[in-house]
Amino acid sequence: MMKKTLFLLAITLFIGQFVCASNDFSKFENKAFTGDYRWVVEGFDWGPAVNKVILSLGETVKNVQANQYQVYATRSLEGVEMAAETASGARSVVYGYVSDENGTRLDEGKHITLVLAVSPVMPLSSPFQYTRINNRGGNYWVDYRLTVIHTKSGQVWNNPVGKIMPLVDDFDLNKKYDYGNNQTMSYAVYSPVNIKGKVPLIIWLHGGGEGGYDPTVALLGNKAANYASPEIQALFGGAYVMVPQAPTFWMQAADGMTRGNVNDIYNEALFALIQEYVANNPNIDPKRIYLGGCSNGGYMSLKLIMEHPDYFAAGYISALAYHNEFISDAQVQKIKNVPIWFIHSQDDPTTVADQTVVPLYKRLKAAGAKNVVFSYYDHVTDVTGFFGGENFRYPGHWSWIYSHANTAKTDFDGSPVLVNGKPVTIMEWMAAQKRK
């Protein structure tokens, strides 16, 4: 609390310097010194970041000089002590433009949008904090506050009036599924528009840090909202996207956590939810239901495929957490004809490949699986090239980046994956799979 108070005091003194230094006090007489702003949160490969702020003006303008604006951020989460450099500080303004209240560019208008710098090594830009609450590690929304100062006039914007979440806002975020003994599971769904005939359903199961009852965490924690992007939607001719959320974590057992050695507590309810949703949405093609997830969600994806091998058209699994030693030969035989694309990194310390996906992939191939793919990376690197490309390394556990970004395209031996003789990415491959 002391740090936050001192930071706000510093901002107040900073504003006062601009006001007192001006010889023309009349220009401040009719100006409000607090204004409204909306902040924009987008999902990136490394997670969510606040990358824009939209300022409300009292007059119409035609241009913006971005270098005249300074932006300060504070992040706090009740009961959590944050390092000073992640709790407050200045945000860099990259660009500015005249816009409407949603950030859409205009030739003239009563709002301006400031584009803020973001990167994988800029925790001050993140609206999430990974921490342990009630003995469980997870991602949580922080209280994210901005103060924007126009250095030429002294105008200040520090009153938040809402946030915009591109792609995430296209989902229905209020879905609930009741099961068991008065238990509830949250989930988010995206419904495609202007579709012709039946279309697929893409299901994504989040990792261990995105459980709870707020599906925005599951959508932004590892960029799952990207399956609703125009680029990926176009590959499927439109597709429903469903993102269920475990109340805790998918690998929870009756006692502790399972790696496949004992049953988890969620798979039956989750499958019932999927069945109900498909039954209630007749535009879904029941022969094109795709199931995937990362880490905890990879475990659950494989679990459901093994339990219901005739239901899913394909699986797409990254950072698999299901241990191979607990998968029987009979289960391998059951799923050998299900198309599955695995993604993993050799340096993953959390879900060790030699204990999970490597032996399972080899067993499936030995059993005669003809449509199992395994993209195996040395490291998880920057797929955009903005932050160093192959020379930038994310944590080895984050192999789901290659799925969400739709850049996985090679098999275990490094050869390109082909469909009808043509090289494809993971989403192009998946769009071609259909259950018989």
Alpha carbon separation from 269 to 35, 248, 279 (Å, rounded): 47, 14, 15
Q: What's the CA gap between 302 and 307, in Å, rounded?
A: 9
Domain annotation covers residue 436: no
Looking at the structure, tell me whether residues 240 and 101 fall in a common domain: no
Query: Parallel, antiparallel, or unpaired: how do β-strands 372-377 and 340-345 relate?
Result: parallel
**Residue range 15-29, pLDDT digits in tens:** 444 333 333 323 333
- Residues 191, 158 share a domain: no
52: domain CATH number is 2.60.40.2180
Confidence of residue 33 (pLDDT cuts 50, 70, 90): low
Coil vs helix vs strand at 216: helix
Q: CATH number, domain at 376?
A: 3.40.50.1820
Let me know whether 28 and 129 are in one domain: yes
Helix (H, G, I), strand (E, B) or coil at 263: coil
Instruction: Indicate whether 193 pLDDT > 90.
Output: yes
Mean of all residue pLDDT scores within the chain: 93
Rounded percentage of the chain residues whose pLDDT exceeds 70: 92
Q: Using CA atoms in the order 255, 257, 261, 267, what is the torsion angle rounded to 10 degrees?
A: 90
Q: What pLDDT sits at residue 34?
A: 82
Within-domain flag for 186:
yes
- Per-residue pLDDT of 104-122, as tens digits, reads 999 999 999 999 999 999 9
The C-alpha atoms of residue 85 and residue 68 are separated, in whole angstroms, by: 24
Handedness of CA 352, 356, 361, 363 (dihedral sign): positive
What lies within 8 Å, CB to CB, of 408 at 6+ separation is 341, 343, 375, 402, 425, 426
Distance of CA 89 to the CA centre of its chain: 24
Say whether both 366 and 380 belong to one domain: yes
Q: Which helix (H) or strand (E) holds 18?
A: helix 2-21
The domain of 68 spans: 2-164
Which residues pair with residue 202 across a beta bridge? 241, 290
Question: DSSP state, 89?
Answer: E
Q: Give the predicted TM-score (pTM) of the model.
A: 0.92
Q: Which sign, positive or negative, has the C-alpha torsion 250, 256, 262, 263?
A: negative
Q: For residue 185, which of 259, 271, 294 has the smallest C-alpha distance?
A: 271
Q: What domain count does the chain have?
A: 2
* Per-residue pLDDT tens over the stretch 261-291: 999 999 999 999 999 999 999 999 999 999 9
Over residues 342-364, the pLDDT tens digits come to: 999 999 999 999 999 999 999 99
Q: What is the C-alpha to C-alpha distance for residues 49 and 44, in angstroms, rounded to an integer?
A: 7
Cα torsion at 200, 166, 209, 316 (round to 10°)?
Answer: 30
- The structure tokens listed for 269 are 């309810």
Residue corresponding to tokens 């003995």: 135
Kindly indicate the confidence band of residue 414, based on its pLDDT and cuts at 50, 70 and 90: very high
Do 72 and 217 reside in the same domain of the chain?
no
Classify 13 as helix, strand or coil: helix
224 and 314 in a single domain? The answer is yes
Same domain, 353 and 389: yes
Joined tokens for residue 165: 């979440």
